[in-house]
């Protein structure tokens, strides 16, 4: 089960999907496009535990974190 974690001003929300289910995979890909289109940065967790920035949807990623742009004042 793969996870997309979306960080925002209220905390985080987690979206789980089965990477072998075409419907769930399509929904996750649409979510990726929507969030990155809104300016969120996406990063996937590597086996070492580190995160790498990603620019395109990776259906094999077990965990993807989305975080919003920093806003200065």
**Bridge partners of residue 64, in order along the sequence:** 4, 44
Q: What is the mean pLDDT of residues 13-26?
A: 96
Greatest Cα pair distance, the chain, in angstroms, is: 44
Over pLDDT 70: what percentage of the chain? 96
**Bridge partners of residue 52, in order along the sequence:** 44
Per-residue pLDDT for 73 more than 70? no
List the domains of the chain with CATH numbers.
2-67 (3.10.20)
In the three-class reduction of DSSP (H, G, I as helix; E, B as strand; rest coil), residue 29 is classed as helix
Q: What is the mean pLDDT of residues 10-33?
A: 96
Rg of the chain over all Cα atoms, to the nearest angstrom: 12
């Amino acid at each position: 089960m793969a996870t997309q974690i979306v960080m925002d001003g209220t905390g985080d929300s987690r979206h789980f999907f089965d990477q072998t289910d075409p419907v769930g995979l399509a929904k996750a890909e649409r979510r990726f496009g929507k969030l990155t289109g809104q300016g969120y940065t996406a990063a996937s967790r590597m086996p070492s535990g580190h995160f790498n920035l990603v620019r395109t949807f990776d259906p094999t990623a077990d965990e993807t974190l989305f975080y919003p742009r920093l806003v200065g004042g």
